[in-house]
């Protein structure tokens, strides 16, 4: 017996409590933090630098998720009455927003890490090859790709109870396994880039930029922490649940896997709050750069001088 023909029980009171404990704080805290970031972007930041572009993309992604959360709570309480109270297409749209947030955030966070790695590894080439316009183009490509993939969620979602019962058509292995591979590649890429950057910054020759180095390390670790804590558990359980739905695993644990899937998804939604750690340091450096017009601070490696110092250190060791 697999999950596709397993009895689909509605969420019990314990599950609804878990839903509220995660979703309500996530909605209010995430709304406050992203609202503050949006206000700063619109009113206080004038320079269209790479940190600005990253922040705009993350704020938009998080706002889409936050919009769907109240409806998610509502859906878990009305259950199958959703079809009577709300349009089915609106449910499909809301489910798609969660998908867009997950994978846009994953790819943008990975891009931030790779961009910093390139700036440390090739500091002089990065200034020309990794311009704000290039980063904006890459982010646009990410949005287009994710939205195209989301069409699969929108048109194939046939759940009668919005958000809770995921259609077997959506959980096909040929769709879920590539997503898992993508997340694994992003996780390994972020881990490699973060460790390399931290090692390079710790072994640089100059000792005059310790404050900047510390900020850069905190940003890297916060992004890595957000990725591993928010997205890794969800995609692990998603793969297991997909295997059960498709008959590759025993269906006796379907309800447990479904509950674990939703709980890890609630944890994944917390990324819209944890992104504020990046906003804090990005806004701080952007404001600093506006106060010092002659010094264009680059958040990809915290400071252009850090890149140069790392490069000088590498050259001195080679001699």
pTM score, whole prediction: 0.84
DSSP 296: -
Which of the two residues, 67 and 1, has the higher pLDDT score? 67
Residue 278 has pLDDT above 70, yes or no: yes
Helices (H), the chain: 13-43, 50-78, 82-85, 88-121, 123-129, 132-156, 173-202, 210-230, 232-245, 254-269, 271-291, 304-318
pLDDT given for residue 270 in this prediction = 93
Length of the chain: 319
Please say whether the beta carbons of 141 and 64 come within 8 A.
Answer: no
- Set out the domains of the chain in order of their start, with CATH numbers: 12-303 (1.20.1070.10)
CA separation (Å) from 232 to 20, 143, 183? Answer: 22, 21, 8
Write the pLDDT tens digit of every residue in 46-64. 777 888 899 899 999 999 9
pLDDT band of 205, cuts 50, 70, 90: very low
pLDDT given for residue 15 in this prediction = 80
DSSP string, 131-174: -HHHHHHHHHHHHHHHHHHHHHHHHH---SSTTTS--TTTT-HH
Q: Could you give the CA distance from residue 101 to residue 108 in angstroms, rounded to a whole number?
A: 10
pLDDT given for residue 83 in this prediction = 67
Q: Could you give the CA distance from residue 27 to residue 266 in angstroms, rounded to a whole number?
A: 11
Which of the two residues, 93 and 142, has the higher pLDDT score? 142
Residue 285 has pLDDT above 80, yes or no: no
pLDDT given for residue 166 in this prediction = 75
């Amino acid at each position: 017996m697999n999950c596709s023909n397993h009895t689909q029980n509605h969420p019990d009171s314990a599950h609804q409590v878990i839903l509220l404990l995660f979703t309500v704080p996530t909605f209010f805290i995430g709304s406050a933090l992203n609202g503050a970031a949006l206000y700063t972007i619109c009113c206080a930041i004038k320079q269209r630098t790479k940190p600005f572009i990253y922040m705009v993309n993350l704020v938009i992604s998080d706002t889409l998720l936050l919009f769907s959360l109240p409806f998610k709570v509502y859906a878990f309480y009305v259950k199958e009455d959703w079809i009577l109270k709300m349009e089915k297409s609106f449910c499909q749209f809301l489910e798609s927003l969660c998908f867009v947030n997950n994978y846009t955030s994953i790819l943008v966070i990975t891009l931030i890490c790779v961009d910093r790695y390139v700036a440390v590894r090739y500091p002089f080439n990065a200034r020309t090859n990794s311009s704000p316009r290039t980063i904006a183009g890459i982010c646009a490509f990410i949005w287009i790709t994710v939205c195209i993939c989301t069409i699969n969620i929108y048109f194939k979602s046939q759940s009668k109870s919005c958000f809770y019962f995921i259609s077997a058509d959506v959980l096909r292995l040929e769709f879920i396994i590539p997503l898992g591979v993508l997340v694994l590649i992003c996780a390994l890429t972020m881990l490699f880039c973060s460790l390399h950057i931290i090692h390079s910054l710790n072994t640089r020759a100059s000792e005059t930029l310790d404050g900047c180095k510390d900020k850069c390390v905190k940003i890297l670790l916060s992004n890595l922490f957000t990725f591993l804590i928010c997205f890794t558990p969800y995609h692990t359980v998603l793969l297991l649940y997909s295997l059960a739905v498709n008959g590759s695993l025993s269906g006796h644990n379907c309800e447990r896997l479904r509950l674990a899937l939703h709980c890890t998804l609630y944890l994944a939604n917390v990324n819209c709050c944890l992104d504020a750690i990046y906003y804090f340091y990005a806004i701080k450096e952007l404001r600093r750069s506006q106060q010092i017009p002659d010094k264009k601070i680059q958040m990809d490696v915290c400071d252009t001088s850090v890149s140069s110092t790392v490069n000088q250190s590498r050259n001195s060791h080679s001699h």
